[in-house]
Structure 1
């Protein structure tokens, strides 16, 4: 169980009715209304509206100088080095700018540092090597914002440097010909959330000039989309435009390398979404950088040789499988260590045997398993290189900045960052990070709650309804994938799949069977077993197998479900406290006409001799059950008694020991359906809130 708390957005009946009347399916309408989209015009703007026009690239600080220097290099016939990062964002940015400049007639050297040998960003040895190859201009993409010394070194060798990056800036900037980074405090551009590949795209547009902006975007939106999604950038504004156009292009890819990778990854016959980029394409490209072979991915994305491209696509997929094996072993080691010595507030682990290229992914898995930020450190001769991942909105860059006196260097984003630390400083770093996290979150605060869009019934999860949610694409930060909640599902069967890494479940809810997959989860460790019931928070998706489409739940989290009696008791107590009920809770509490009839007959028999019934609600419920032949819940019996008292049919006294009921002599016919109590429950079932 990853989250202690789930927060489900309350339904908005008026918005639901308006959206459904406009032709939007009920499930999509529920998600939209939960996110504040309440009128059809807003919904159409999100689902069908035109793309946001891209801001003038020259709005980015220093972009005019950057574009001018690159144009000069093209005119002079200089050799230009495009220097990128080894992750997906950096690789796609490197390929985008390299291909663009080559089409402009430029002599271009694409360069990605070896993650294992050189580490992140500019380094002196690489700069020197590029000088020996004739480069007189280095353009960085997705890196360089902290490379003060390396930029100075390049200038001492007679090499000009243009920095394009999107990472957080520190107090000083490199003394480069231009420094383009939307996160600069003095950058007037509104596009603060661009990926590194997005900044590279803007540079290409600036070099090309305003008359050719659309051509550049159309040619490179595929690469820009892959890098933007992989780097988990906000899926709003310009990023949404870039990714939406890129997804359309990837559905019929013209770029040979991407087409071959899509086929090798098994996506050729499937719709390409932001999710399939994030879970299928990006890991394969990323594997090359993580395993120290980033140049392989660069060659694939730039190749025009089909035979060579097929070979590279196969090798990338094989490399990804190797990465998964290494990652799985490190993850198991971490779990064993944390089982023996649990850590509170954050996970921080170090080891000299770990593969530096995969610890970032392991950190991500640890955050999900333990519900807190994770810091993983690879040790080598007294020095540690760390990767960290956030949880619950913790800003990692700020936390590392607070510990900068203990670090040799650090950089990155709020959600993912890297750092270098001396081994002897790790214990103090661990303590200081936890203190910073406690201050940021508040003492004893839970760092994260799962935010869900709506509770649903299994019967609502049809293939058509779930497929309609794809209209929300592209999804990501700022426009997340829909998260739904299904209560009280029965586990029919379960098994470990994917070499034991993932949990596959067969669920049943009110007669509807559903398949579910819980990535990086172990059923035995979670205490699950067939026959048990669970509440499931999930991403709804369509699974296609041998031409058949079916609904699958990708589990985000699950909790053991209370028994029906426990659930009814909790809902009744919530009702008595005057709190609003969800539609599912109101349905659970709503008594049927048969229950009223059975209870009334039971009370008539009991009161016939004594004139008064004094008993517990549970025993009254059992007596009423014998009258109807159906199970009567004590909480619904209490609610029935309240309705009967409200309508003047009985006198009701309640106390800690039970209830006392006396029948009234009523001459007129009483309409129970006019009960305000039942009216409030009906309103809640329709999507309002029932309050006592």
Structure 2
């Protein structure tokens, strides 16, 4: 069980029915209704995808200044430097702007920082190098908004700077020729959630003019889509238009490097969705930056030579495999560090090591935040200085958190969900203490609870078909604000559980009623899963088509699986029977015989209970806990006897039981050797009824 809590949506039946009557398939109607899209009219509006960007780029503050300075540089034959970033957003932004400038005949230089040697953002040595090469104008993409000192340095060298960025701004903006960032407090641009490549795209559209907007959007939408999905931007407004159009353009894009990467990743001639961008293309492009070779990815996307593109695509995929191995080693080491932390140091995970690869710590931070349900700060140490990457959890604002500790840092940048920072090694202990204190103050001191948002439980398993799954593609593109739909199948039976992929993954066969489903649970071992054949489970999953040897079938891609919180028919009947006994209702002789238990059976139940409550108190999921007691005592009617035993223990004052929804809060309060069983009213009723 990966998540402690499942938030399962409960769409109104009348909303689902109205959508189905309007022609929407069952699963799509379920998702739309769960997300508040309750009428056919709002559904049609939600599913409509704009084919173009409707907001004028000139609405952005300083866009007019940026266009004027860049056009002057092009007309005057100046050398223009494009300063990017080493992640997917930064690389696609750089390539997008470089391609346009070159198409205008501009002399261009490209600079993408090396993650390890240069760190994040602008740097004075890089700026000096660009000026030495003859640059008189530098345009930043996906960076620069916090580079006040570096922009001043560039100006001192006679190098003008145009900043384009999408990250959060500090109080004072850089003194550049133009600062284009929708997050500027004085920027009237209505849509604030563009990625860096989205801002770069807007700059290109402004430079090209209204008459060329459609053509330029068609050329660059694929690159902008990759960067937007990779940077986990909100999938609404203009981002939805960028990604929807970009997905359609990807298979036949003019950028041969993109097509080569699609081939090398096994996506050629296959439908490409936001899921493939996020989990197949982006990691490969990102691997270059993480492993200190961002220019390799930029070379791939820029090249017009097909043979060179094929070669670079292979190198990129090999780098990604290397990154995966390094990531696994760092993650294992980080988990060991976490186990040594005190409880008060686990509200925010602040971890550091000289052994870690600086380029990979960010992705490990993401995994740790998900695993431990809290913000994570991973720091690579070298020569007394730490370079950190941090990731949020549950909407926690990292940028504000770093600002609260700014006096301990040499610098920081990013946004509320992901950020980077530098810190003197001697300040790390104080940073850990203060960051944990800050997180507790923001969250109210409540321990973090990992939660999974599920759109809806599927009440009709027969509706889980390949055709229904294919119809869900109309909800694309997925992303923040429009996540991939997650469904739940409650009270299913795990008929088979089989390790696959050298034991790294699990293949399951699930059934409910007459329906049978193949399922795959990635990156989970049989031991971690804790599910055995015959277990009654709840499964949360994505739906996907699985093609094997030319045959395409429906597969459930599990997000989580847990012991079922819904009772089986026999369990529900057992609970009802005990309830009737407790309330003093009449029982048949057959029912009395089922309820009758010997004192030794109560002793067995007490032993099982105390073993499961090692600390004398616990909060457990109710039905799985009862099943655990039943499994320990064994025999026929074990669940019934476990349920009755808890009722008797509570009445005799041996335990305190408080039901909280699907959970039981329990405390051991007495010793059964000091209890007189004959006085229990439930057992007295059994004897009385048996005698009549």
Is the structural similarity TM-score above 0.5? yes
Q: TM (normalized to structure 1)?
A: 0.82
Matched with 1:489 is 492
CA contact (8 A) 2:219 2:254 kept: no
Cα distance in 2 between the residues matched to 1:616 and 1:397: 66
Cα distance in 2 between the residues matched to 1:616 and 1:437: 58
Cα distance in 1 between the residues matched to 2:200 and 2:528: 45
Q: Deviations over 1:472-509 (max 9, x none)?
A: 00011111110111123333444555565444433333
| TM-aligned CA deviation for residue 544 of structure 1 | 2.3
Query: Structure 2 vs 1, CA of residues 257 and 616 (structure 1 numbering), >3 Å: closer, same or farther?
Result: farther
Query: Structure 2 vs 1, CA of residues 620 and 454 (structure 1 numbering), >3 Å: closer, same or farther?
Result: farther
| TM-aligned CA deviation for residue 419 of structure 1 | 0.9
Matched with 1:71 is 71
| TM-aligned CA deviation for residue 252 of structure 1 | 3.1
| TM-aligned CA deviation for residue 215 of structure 1 | 1.5
Cα distance in 1 between the residues matched to 2:589 and 2:20: 41
SS in structure 1 opposite 2:410? strand
2:384 aligned with 1:412: no
Q: Deviations over 1:584-632 (max 9, x none)?
A: xxxxxxxxxxxxxxx9xxxxxxxxxxxx973389926969xxxxxxx9x
Matched with 2:526 is 523
| TM-aligned CA deviation for residue 44 of structure 1 | 1.6
Query: Structure 2 vs 1, CA of residues 545 and 2 (structure 1 numbering), >3 Å: closer, same or farther?
Result: same
Q: Deviations over 1:60-116 (max 9, x none)?
A: 111110111101000001110111000000000000000011001111112101111
SS in structure 2 opposite 1:220? helix
CA contact (8 A) 2:494 2:537 kept: yes
Which piece of structure 1 moves more, 87-96 or 484-493?
484-493
Which piece of structure 1 moves more, 91-100 or 253-262?
253-262
2:536 aligned with 1:564: no
| TM-aligned CA deviation for residue 565 of structure 1 | 6.3
Q: Deviations over 1:534-572 (max 9, x none)?
A: 212222222223322222222222222256269638997
SS in structure 2 opposite 1:615? coil
Q: Deviations over 1:622-666 (max 9, x none)?
A: 69xxxxxxx9x99xxxxxxxxxxxxxxxxxxxx977999xxxxxx
SS in structure 1 opposite 2:526? coil
Aligned with residue 378 of structure 1, among 353, 377, 380: 380
Cα distance in 2 between the residues matched to 1:369 and 1:556: 13
Q: Deviations over 1:281-316 (max 9, x none)?
A: 000000011111111111111111011000000100
| TM-aligned CA deviation for residue 384 of structure 1 | 0.7
Which piece of structure 1 moves more, 88-97 or 437-446?
437-446
Query: Structure 2 vs 1, CA of residues 439 and 195 (structure 1 numbering), >3 Å: closer, same or farther?
Result: same
Q: Deviations over 1:364-403 (max 9, x none)?
A: 1112222222111101111111111111111111111111
SS in structure 2 opposite 1:481? coil
Matched with 2:454 is 452
Query: Structure 2 vs 1, CA of residues 422 and 21 (structure 1 numbering), >3 Å: closer, same or farther?
Result: same
Equivalence map 1:262-341=2 (5 Å) = 262-341=262-341
Cα distance in 2 between the residues matched to 1:218 and 1:229: 17
2:214 aligned with 1:210: no
Aligned residue pairs total 600
Cα distance in 1 between the residues matched to 2:294 and 2:358: 14
Matched with 1:514 is 517
Cα distance in 1 between the residues matched to 2:419 and 2:185: 20
Query: Structure 2 vs 1, CA of residues 536 and 106 (structure 1 numbering), >3 Å: closer, same or farther?
Result: same
Q: Which runs of 5+ in 1 are unaligned?
A: 577-598, 600-611, 624-630, 635-654, 661-692
Cα distance in 2 between the residues matched to 1:490 and 1:41: 39
Cα distance in 1 between the residues matched to 2:120 and 2:225: 23
CA contact (8 A) 1:541 1:554 kept: yes
Query: Structure 2 vs 1, CA of residues 495 and 366 (structure 1 numbering), >3 Å: closer, same or farther?
Result: farther
CA contact (8 A) 1:116 1:357 kept: yes
Matched with 1:241 is 241
Query: Structure 2 vs 1, CA of residues 288 and 14 (structure 1 numbering), >3 Å: closer, same or farther?
Result: same
Cα distance in 1 between the residues matched to 2:185 and 2:503: 47
Matched with 1:20 is 20
Matched with 2:586 is 614
Cα distance in 2 between the residues matched to 1:571 and 1:238: 53
Matched with 1:388 is 390
Cα distance in 1 between the residues matched to 2:420 and 2:376: 12
SS in structure 1 opposite 2:121? coil
Q: TM (normalized to structure 2)?
A: 0.82
Matched with 2:662 is none
Cα RMSD (Å): 2.8
Q: Deviations over 1:172-229 (max 9, x none)?
A: 1111100111111111111210000000000001111122111111110000000000
2:46 aligned with 1:46: yes
Q: Which runs of 5+ in 2 are unaligned?
A: 596-636, 641-680, 687-692
Aligned with residue 438 of structure 2, among 433, 436, 439: 436
Which piece of structure 1 moves more, 182-191 or 438-447?
438-447
